[in-house]
Chains A and B, each alone.
Chain A
Amino acid sequence: ETGVTQTPRHLVMGMTNKKSLKCEQHLGHNAMYWYKQSAKKPLELMFVYSLEERVENNSVPSRFSPECPNSSHLFLHLHTLQPEDSALYLCASSQEGTTETQYFGPGTRLLVL
């Protein structure tokens, strides 16, 4: 595997379900990010982890819960979501202290029924 990978690529869940999105980066980076991309809206930053510590939480509802067990893995735990949470969820990683360019994974397309 190379770059940033995300699983699953597609997810359909009911409003009462609990699911998790997984992201793995193979670039040796020390920072990871979750973004939400909705139709006709700019990418919205949700969470930032630097050196495995959460450094930013952009007023995201508590039904989204991130977890970063190490510098290569990032999870987004989902529970009791709403239909308006349907979107493309993107993971990215970067190396802080250098160019800081963020490299993105392919995303998970989430549909909440």
Chain B
Amino acid sequence: EDQVTQSPEALRLQEGESSSLNCSYTVSGLRGLFWYRQDPGKGPEFLFTLYSAGEEKEKERLKATLTKKESFLHITAPKPEDSATYLCAVSLSSNTGKLIFGQGTTLQVKP
């Protein structure tokens, strides 16, 4: 069964304290891996797409990496405005229209 698991479920950081979120996946054939940010009461906001192992993408304090079994979202020197739920999703080579989501990691950054 195709599955996406995110850890930790919740993460509390002090402002400036760098950390990483994990997304591990077990799928029959990976086409792409997506990271989204979701604020309370809002829709997910697209961050990154990764397609192949070894690929990395950066945006401000965020950096996403991909291996054959997992992806990491590294947050460097986070600020309170980075507080949100971060969602990971994969698309399959057999069904490009379908995203399988993990349950998300809720990040709280305290000043």
Contact = CB atoms under 8 A, between A and B. Distances in A.
Interface of A: 4, 6, 31, 33, 40-43, 45, 48, 50, 55-56, 88, 90, 92, 94, 96, 99-107, 109
Contact of A43 (B42, B49, B87, B97): B87
* Chain A interface SS verdict (over half): strand
Nearest to B42: A106
Contacts of A48: 97-98
Contact of A42 (B91, B95, B98, B102): B102
B44 interface: yes
Given A6-B43, A43-B87, 13 more contacts: A4-B43, A42-B101, A45-B98, A48-B98, A90-B43, A94-B97, A96-B97, A99-B32, A100-B96, A101-B46, A101-B49, A104-B43, A104-B45
Contact of B104 (A42, A92, A101, A106): A42
A41 B61 CA distance: 27
Contact of B97 (A55, A99, A103, A106): A55
A45 B43 contact: no
Interface of B: 4, 31-32, 34, 36, 41-46, 49, 87, 89, 91, 95-104
Given A42-B101, A45-B98, A56-B98, A104 B32 contact: no
Contacts of A94: 97
A50 B97 contact: yes
B22 to A, nearest CB: 15
B101 A96 contact: no
Closest 9 CB pairs of A and B: A104-B43, A42-B101, A43-B101, A104-B44, A106-B43, A48-B97, A42-B103, A107-B43, A105-B43
